[in-house]
Structure 1
Amino acid sequence: MTTPPPVPQPDVPPVPQPADPAGPPPDPRTGPAPQPDPFAVVADAVDGMREELAALGDQFRRRLLNDREARRGLDGLLTELDHARKAAEGRIVQPLLYDLVLLVDRAERQAALDDTFAGSVAAELLALLEKYGMTRIPLTGGPFNPEIQEAVGAIAAPSPEQSGEVAEVARHGYRMDERVVRPQQVRVYTDR
């Protein structure tokens, strides 16, 4: 018995036939297809990598410059913040510290009357002032210095060479960092 030929199905796509592994037959008029030069292929790949490397180098340099600019900006902001913090401390803390200086003056006057408790309180207050950056201007002899001293009196000079020199300190002076908060009040030798 004979089987009828298969009827094509309209919904089923045709099955592709495997390609000839040898490739298309050479054209008898042109001859075999030319093979690419392996050195040219490598040279093209190296040129492509050089271009890509150059682009990456440019991108790296741009980002490095951007990072430097950002760091400069951040450093500027940190400096401004530090100045603002110090200014705020000066407005808030300095008046309190100045009031403590007045209290130290009173305690030291009382300690001069042989009151040991007042002397210990004065020492503790001085330590507290130094903790917050307020330091006493050191006692120095020599010529009067108007940058850190205020003349509040005159004393006759024992010799003409001592005229204009500090004779004694009437009241201690204080500074905060390099800024004089209260000048040292002194009596100065004069030749009159």
Structure 2
Amino acid sequence: MTTSENNDTKQEQDSTETDPRSPDAGAEHPNAETDQSENKTDTGDQQRSGSQQSTAEPDLHAICNARVARLELQLREKEKQVDDTLRAYRNVDEEFRRARERLTREQEKEIERQKGKVIAAFFEVADNLERSVTFATPSSPVEGIIEGMRMVHNQFMNKLVELGANTIQPVPGQPFDPDLHEAVGVVAVTDPAKHQTVVQLLRVGYRAGDTLLRPAMVMVGQFAAN
């Protein structure tokens, strides 16, 4: 073989090795395209997963923030309701205190007015007593003095009746009533019918309507069989 033929053969071999269209050109890496495709697929999945995760996270934060904001709003509303309730309670308590003080003052004034009415009712009685004492002298007839005292006493009793007071004056033989009478002693009696009855009235009692002002002071009979 000549030198020229050797050169031509070498060029053909080099051309065959470097020609990409040659069947043997891609024989050295048969899985290269498959690996690249899989890498692209994995990269796309990772990108989509990251995109979905980044999209889901803001939604979760937004939901939490919305709930927190709603709870804070409800809390402020409840606090306002509590403040309003406390303020209303304080106002009612203050009004009640003022009303109680006003009622107490009115009651005290009414008591004073009633006292004044009672005292004024006896002015005339006091005037008559004063006149009786003024005109009474050692030389005055006893009968006249007694009559004057009787008149003043009757006037006094009439004033008590006008004020609503009634006398309690049990007579001898009347059954003893512990609700109206006060027994200060007992007297032995021989008649069984007089047992636990009024024997003597020592002091007149008084009552106003159903209210007992003062019980009648009496002596009570007690029968003792021999």
Normalized per residue, which structure has more helix?
Answer: 2
The structure having more radius of gyration, on CA atoms, is: 2
TM-score bracket for this pair, using the shorter chain length: 0.3 to 0.5
TM-score when normalising by structure 1:
0.41
Bigger RCO of structures 1 and 2 (CA < 8 A, at least 6 apart): 1
TM-score when normalising by structure 2:
0.36
